[in-house]
Structure 1
Amino acid sequence: MAAQEPAESASDEESQSFDVVFVGARVIDPETGLDAVRDVGVTGDRIAAVSASPLGSRLGEGGVLIDGRGKVLAPGFVDLHAHGQSAEANEYQVRDGVTTALELEWGYPAVGAWLEARRGRSRVHYGASASHGMLRSLLTPSLAAQRDEVEASFVEVSRESDPLRSFQGAVAESFYEAVPPQQFAELAEILDHGLAEGALGIGMAHQYFPGATRAEILSVFELAAARSAPIFTHVRSMGVDAIQEVLANAAVTGAPLHIVHLNSSSMDDLPTTLRLIGHAQRRGLDVTTEAYPYTAGSTGLQSAIFDPGWQQRLGIDYGDLQWQDTGERLTAESFERYRAEGGTVILHFMREEMIELAMATPFVIVASDGMPFAPGAHPRSAGTFSRVLGRYVRERGVLTLADAIARMSYHPARRLEAIAPQMRRKGRVQVGADADLVLFDPDTVIDTATFEEGLAFSRGIEQVLVAGELVVRDGATQEVFPGRPVRSRYADAAGD
């Protein structure tokens, strides 16, 4: 991609016609720094022109002319942390400006089968990491003897619309067990196979599988370093020491590292963990991080996070927990009942000052940690990106509009470029870039989903293109499914 705004080029010659033309929009391209009124022409699935001259007269037959005056045209948002992968979840994502939604924290255990099952069914581009937490189960005492059956279930579950919870349930009994050291090499082979199927790195959510020893974690970092494959980690506990563990592993092995939801993994230690990551980056380590703009988290109540002592570890009590399916706040009695039953809870446990700090820190990527679809799901599943633009840019001035757009599109794309070269065409508004674009009203854009009322579409997201197709047109969802797989460079991507 060009390092600066290109002049009119052969791709923008007068004879060319366009399928879509945006007229008079404020175009923000994070890579070149362009922030100016431009017309943008799209042909097929690529941006064909970014011009200070009018392009409307060159609209092709049957093309779409979009009035962008007073609006912002930006690269479509790239969400590195999206557990919701169903059609329902995708609709909320595109209505929030997302054009690429990836499952990288947990990942999936049969990435090839899942990618194939998604073909032609997604409004957004999609991809996943290889799941350390699920694949390690094949080598643990409780499941090793059932390996063939477990692997077959991985393929079968990959066909579900939102498979994460089913995957987790299938291997939950292994979470408290260690992989024997003599099988670390085999674990590396299993994860390496995932990369060959197209996995975008290794998902390592080891707070959820506390049986993983520090030696096992280090062995996975060694594989990641050998393959230059990023590890996407939900660290082993909430606080400084867990961040230091993964930073140390990255430093000694050279593995690329991305630490998910630093806000919830740090709580009030966020100033210290931000300092740690800043120092690591200045020392040349390939380390990135992300945060979401809400003071509550969400996870499974049956998970290890709620093992005895959780009140002390999290600094909260039963009344700070909200049951996703009913909205009720928990009591000691309902906690025990729902924990035995299993399901999703919302945790109100972070301070707004820490969220503002994360949003104000330039190297922190914005990612949603959006949940599998449910009507009462955490509002981050529907409103993360509009909330940043409305609450933290327009209303509070915590960061600039250009910075927010970069951290929601260009920076996440950059995180993946080494493992997935196709990401070099995303996160940009330039000739030759993928036509993944969002047009929004900077004066009205805001999230509308709430903890009390559940999911709702964001406001102010007017047009969204994915691979050149309008998936949101005039603020309404379109029944088109142009999303394509995002695969690692180790996969055979023929035909994509």
Structure 2
Amino acid sequence: MDPEPARTPAPLDVLITGATVVDGTGREGFVADVGIRDGHVVALGPAAGSCDARDRLAADGLVLAPGFIELHSHADPLALCDAESSLRQGVTTEILNPDGFGTRGAPWVDTMETPDITSTLAFADRPPGIAVNIGAYVGLGAVWAAGAGSADERPDAQAVHRMRELVLRAMTEGAWGVSAGLYYPPSAYGTTEEVVAVVSAAAPWRAPFSNHIRNEGSAVLAATVESLEIAERAGLVGVIAHMKAMGPANWGATVATLQAVADARARGLRAAGEVYPYLSSRTGLSVLVPPEFRSGGDTAMVERFTDPRLRPQVAAGIEQVLYARVADARSVHLESCGLTLGQYCAERATGLADAVMTLLEQDPQAMAVYDFGHEADLERILRRPFVAVASDGGACLDEHTHPRNYGTQPRVLARYVRDRHLLTLPQAVRRMTGLPASVLGMTDRGLVAPGMVADLVLFDPAAVRDRATYEQPRQYAEGVHAVLLAGVFALRDGELTGARAGQVLKRPAYAVSDPDTGVPPDAQDQEDAVRVTVTGSGPVGTCEASLYGRGHGTAPQGRAVLRTPDGRVFTVTRPGSLRAGTDWAALAGVGAYADGAPQEELPFRLTVQTADPRHRGRPTLAWAVQGGPTAYGPLLGSVTVTGGG
């Protein structure tokens, strides 16, 4: 009988040598070679360097990390074509429709546009394509406007049903979760009970509820607690968007809001936050008008300004809101004229509220930058391991905007890692990669490991920095040498390649959002901190696995074998990463079919759940090989996960 031929791996498409790999788990970096084939990382470590490769890139002295995942993007669709502002920051994926908005996800769009995910993402499939990956939330504000209207009125049972149907449709179409902006009308008019009733439609997807809370100033703690309560009661993951404490009277409140998130996590709620590294925000000037005077949209709002009975009430409300958000009118920077609101009032000898109403009469969608915060609050938020970095900006072409669109991720790496030593480099990278991926439920991105999609960023840790300022925001970041999307260079040697390799990413039905806290400090010496065993069969095949590892995302040991319904046997040869919660686990790596070609090693992903709500609480198995279609269905047998969470 002839001996079985040796498996000689096929040539690599790209080999990156000598990089310091910071893998997204939070553990320390290590020098390694990284091999990429068919859009996936297939080799990591000394053995990769001995493989044949069609393209090689020497990365000595540079850091290789997962591509940064932008959890909170208000990207301009036109900018996504080239996405230079994002690629030069190392961003490879942007999630659109945050803060409850639809389509473009812009807080100043009065119509809220559409909650339809297919329509939201359709532009990406048209020429010339997109340069970064995109996904989308379904926006509660857009759902509310479509299902219940824009007036400050209680939705009846029929309206609630319509809104639930819109959420269900969006999740089926691949939304990554539900975003809300309970500060913005019309969803601002919803009660806690009403919001729970609507967003709980997404519960079977085990997805995030990301919320711009109702009040980021005087009632920031109560609003944070409400947002976590909504998530808990709705069966979703609670995510507090762009955490902050607005206005001098409220500085220091982040001690309590962060503790509220920590307490929620301690009682079992999957919860997280996100933050941008600036002390100013950018949104519509209309946010200074109390929500009750914005009911019905822009036209109705402006009409109230001319009502002699209502105008004094509107004026008093504007002043109250402004001083709750910022120190004074000098802290509001008007984009339309390049002046502060204080300067505008002085030049025209007009009162603060009258000036705001005049500007909104001229342009109801006028934008402003608001100086709101204190550095101690920002640093306190950044330190917490459950808080991701997110820009609240996204791909941009604008000359007049917030610098966060052009500098968020490099600013964290330069200011808070290299200069201030607030975070270590692995901690910061995890907040932009592994943590956002786990918040969303992505199991194929966010880590550098065999089996993962090769979305990667290569940067100089000594030179990476933001250059964008409030005066001149459109200045690109420096220090990012290369960016790859699924193994294709979008940026190389610091220059755009012109490749538009971005993909539309849709949430798979089997995904589990479960914000991780990185590799536990005490897990480094524990070989079996996480252990997963699977023995079962079902319509999608048979799985036998016994795996154990040190912590979230790290390379596990053990074995796993899949048998397809048609009898093919796939054996895991190199486990790459093991992610686990209390009732689910996801494995990525490289394996081979027993009847495959000798040189054919293929990337794969496998996800198991012990009690999947999409299948009436039964165990399930989902698996895919070589980025192909995923087989997903119930599993008869035993699935156990210990040490995850």
Q: TM-score range by the shorter chain?
A: 0.7 to 0.9
Q: Structure 1 residue 426 and structure 2 residue 445: aligned?
A: yes
Alpha-carbon separation, structure 2, partners of 1:56 and 1:460: 29
Show the counterpart of 2:20: 26
Post-superposition CA distance 1:173-215 (Å, at most 9, x none): x164442345212211121111111111111111001322233
**Which residues of 2 match residues 224-373 of structure 1 at below 5 A?**
224-238=202-216, 239-263=220-244, 268-303=252-287, 308=318, 309-330=320-341, 331-332=344-345, 334-340=355-361, 341=363, 342-370=365-393, 373=397
Moved over 6 A (4+): 493-496
Alpha-carbon separation, structure 2, partners of 1:122 and 1:56: 34
Aligned with residue 169 of structure 2, among 193, 218, 223: 193
Show the counterpart of 1:42: 36
Q: Structure 1 residue 204 and structure 2 residue 197: aligned?
A: no
Structure 2 CA distance for partners of 1:66 and 1:329, relative to 1, 3 Å: same
Task: Look up the SS of the partner of 2:481 in the other structure.
Answer: strand
Q: Tell me, yes or no, if the aligned pair for 2:192 and 2:230 is still in contact at 8 Å.
A: no
Alpha-carbon separation, structure 2, partners of 1:477 and 1:325: 31
- The alignment's C-alpha RMSD in Å is 2.4
Identity across matched positions, percent: 30
Tell me by how many angstroms 1:131 deviates.
1.5
Aligned with residue 73 of structure 1, among 64, 85, 90: 64
Show the counterpart of 2:436: 412
**Which residues of 2 match residues 32-181 of structure 1 at below 5 A?**
33=27, 35-53=29-47, 55=49, 58-60=52-54, 63=55, 65-88=56-79, 90-103=83-96, 104-108=98-102, 109-119=115-125, 121-140=129-148, 143=149, 174=150, 176-181=152-157
Q: Structure 1 residue 438 and structure 2 residue 444: aligned?
A: no
Task: Look up the SS of the partner of 1:55 in the other structure.
Answer: helix
Tell me by how many angstroms 1:235 deviates.
0.9
Tell me by how many angstroms 1:416 deviates.
1.4
Q: Structure 1 residue 485 and structure 2 residue 479: aligned?
A: no
Tell me by how many angstroms 1:442 deviates.
0.3
Structure 2 CA distance for partners of 1:495 and 1:336, relative to 1, 3 Å: farther
Q: Tell me, yes or no, if the aligned pair for 2:196 and 2:233 is still in contact at 8 Å.
A: no
Tell me by how many angstroms 1:28 deviates.
1.2
Structure 2 CA distance for partners of 1:494 and 1:219, relative to 1, 3 Å: farther
Show the counterpart of 2:484: 465
Tell me by how many angstroms 1:366 deviates.
0.6
Q: 111-120 vs 297-306, which deviates more?
A: 297-306
Tell me by how many angstroms 1:304 deviates.
5.9
Q: Tell me, yes or no, if the aligned pair for 1:463 and 1:473 is still in contact at 8 Å.
A: yes
Alpha-carbon separation, structure 2, partners of 1:494 and 1:431: 16
Unaligned runs of 5+ in 1: 1-11, 144-173, 418-422
With structure 2 as the length reference, what TM-score do the two structures score? 0.65
Alpha-carbon separation, structure 1, partners of 2:212 and 2:63: 34
Task: Look up the SS of the partner of 2:16 in the other structure.
Answer: strand
Across the two proteins, how many residue pairs are aligned to each other? 444
Q: 441-450 vs 176-185, which deviates more?
A: 176-185
Tell me by how many angstroms 1:368 deviates.
0.6
Alpha-carbon separation, structure 1, partners of 2:101 and 2:420: 34
Unaligned runs of 5+ in 2: 1-5, 103-114, 291-316, 511-626, 631-645
Q: Tell me, yes or no, if the aligned pair for 1:198 and 1:488 is still in contact at 8 Å.
A: yes
Q: Tell me, yes or no, if the aligned pair for 1:76 and 1:436 is still in contact at 8 Å.
A: yes
Q: Tell me, yes or no, if the aligned pair for 1:201 and 1:229 is still in contact at 8 Å.
A: yes
Structure 2 CA distance for partners of 1:264 and 1:338, relative to 1, 3 Å: farther
Post-superposition CA distance 1:100-137 (Å, at most 9, x none): 01113335212112222212621111011111101211
Report the structure number with the largest CA radius of gyration: 2
Tell me by how many angstroms 1:139 deviates.
3.3
Tell me by how many angstroms 1:303 deviates.
3.4
Post-superposition CA distance 1:47-85 (Å, at most 9, x none): 12112246276222xx2x222111100000001001014
Structure 2 CA distance for partners of 1:175 and 1:410, relative to 1, 3 Å: farther
Task: Look up the SS of the partner of 2:268 in the other structure.
Answer: coil
Query: Higher relative CO (CA 8 A, sep ≥ 6), structure 1 or 2?
Result: 1
Structure 2 CA distance for partners of 1:450 and 1:73, relative to 1, 3 Å: same
1:437 partner letter: L
With structure 1 as the length reference, what TM-score do the two structures score? 0.84
Q: 368-377 vs 388-397, which deviates more?
A: 368-377
Alpha-carbon separation, structure 1, partners of 2:78 and 2:28: 34
Show the counterpart of 1:154: none
Alpha-carbon separation, structure 2, partners of 1:195 and 1:377: 31
1:115 partner letter: L
Q: 1 or 2, which has the higher strand percentage?
A: 2
Structure 2 CA distance for partners of 1:95 and 1:296, relative to 1, 3 Å: same
Post-superposition CA distance 1:320-367 (Å, at most 9, x none): 111235532123455333322122211111111111111222221111
Q: Tell me, yes or no, if the aligned pair for 2:205 and 2:509 is still in contact at 8 Å.
A: no
Task: Look up the SS of the partner of 1:93 in the other structure.
Answer: helix
Structure 2 CA distance for partners of 1:326 and 1:16, relative to 1, 3 Å: farther
